[in-house]
Amino acid sequence: MSDATTDSWFHALRLPDGTVTPGRFDRDTPPNYTLWGALALLRHLDLAAADCLDIGTMDGLMAFSLARAGARSVVATDVVPRPTFERARAALGLDVGYRTPFLVSDVADVKEPSWDLIACCGVLYHVFDPLPLLVTLRRNLRPQGWLILETQYLKGEGRARLSFEPGEAGKALRHANTFFRPSHSALCALMETAGFEVVTTIATLGRLTVLARAERPSAIRTRSASTRRVLDRYRHYANYREAVDHAGLDAASAPAVVGYSGPVGDFVLDTTTRRPASDLEPEWRPSAAARARYRLRDRTAWLAASIARRRLLPHWPQPDGGLSRPRSG
Ligand SMILES: C[S@@+](CC[C@H](N)C(=O)[O-])C[C@H]1O[C@@H](n2cnc3c(N)ncnc32)[C@H](O)[C@@H]1O
């Protein structure tokens, strides 16, 4: 018989009956830490009129958090259906759609964009084609819509680099499903090339979360002069034609449906002082030794990110008053 404490759970979720699902990490690893940047952003987005898509949802923490943050509609998708998602959704009683099988390539050929916010967390490094993925997501977002993208990244790499993990000599991959990993500046330039303005980035240990707005390419404030040149000139080359339509994206405009009132710029999230973003998440209660280890890791991650950005990065501000309450639901 299936049980919330013994099923194979990816996310650590706090269910209304007090059960905490085990998640994929041991007790000393911060539960769901790869999503902490994305969850931190939600409290600053006004989602009341937003139709949201979560790609690669696994047990649904991001999709459920979008619903609890007041989104008008949420559709969670994944490559294969997971009974754990269904169990959690039923226990939480949330109105969240669930589409499977669903690959990123399944959103490719829409005529009209249908989403105001797309969450794509922990997926980029699993696909063979990161830039076309971003172009696809951009095409599927309404003008001024938002992408929350979360990925493994090359922490400490200041140049715009994309590593191809299977080719890394002397390092055996733990999982055989990790392909491209971008540096911070590479990811920003990739997103801008696809038609996004990067608004906020949050580094968490070896992970990076980016909040980016679907913007007209001519209006994007790029982080490098070279990306500006691509956005201005690429469309004029007759004999170089990748699958991006900068002129078409420039022609489409609409007022923003989702407002963002949070911090803007590049941040590092301090994992040891972080508190749960909502009551969907359990508290992290590590041993004293593990907490001390993470303090050191945090400091190293902050230093590496700061060196790569050539300035001291601020920490993401913690909300006052402990546990933040969901806005509705
Ligand atoms: C590391 S998990 C991330 C789960 C969740 N989004 C999170 O961040 O906690 C990767 C997810 O990506 C999905 N995935 C892998 N390849 C995909 C593809 N080509 N298109 C869509 N989803 C994919 C997997 O099924 C899985 O749900």
pLDDT, tens only, 254-300: 999 999 999 999 999 999 999 999 999 999 999 999 999 999 999 99
| Residues of the chain above pLDDT 90, percent | 86
* pLDDT band of 110, cuts 50, 70, 90: low
Provide the 8-state DSSP code for 328: -
pLDDT, tens only, 191-200: 999 999 999 9
Angle at 186 between CA 202 and CA 232, to 5 degrees: 115
Look at residue 168 in the predicted model and tell me its pLDDT: 87
**What pTM, to 2 d.p., does this model score?**
0.95
Strands (E), the chain: 45-46, 51-55, 73-77, 97-99, 115-121, 141-152, 162-164, 180-182, 196-204, 207-214, 259-260, 265-268
Ligand 1 first shell, C-beta below 6 A: 34-35, 55-58, 62, 78-79, 103-104, 121-123, 126-127, 150
Look at residue 320 in the predicted model and tell me its pLDDT: 61
Looking at the predicted structure, is the pLDDT value of residue 74 above 50?
yes
Looking at the predicted structure, is the pLDDT value of residue 329 above 50?
no
Look at residue 303 in the predicted model and tell me its pLDDT: 94
Q: Tell me, in angstroms, the distance from the centre of ligand 1 to residue 24's CA.
A: 14
Question: 209 pairs with which residues across the strands?
Answer: 150, 202
Looking at the predicted structure, is the pLDDT value of residue 327 above 70?
no
The CATH classification number of 33-309 equals: 3.40.50.150
Return the residue whose CA atom lies nearest to atom 18 of ligand 1.
103
Q: Tell me, in angstroms, the distance from the centre of ligand 1 to residue 166's CA.
A: 19
Look at residue 322 in the predicted model and tell me its pLDDT: 40
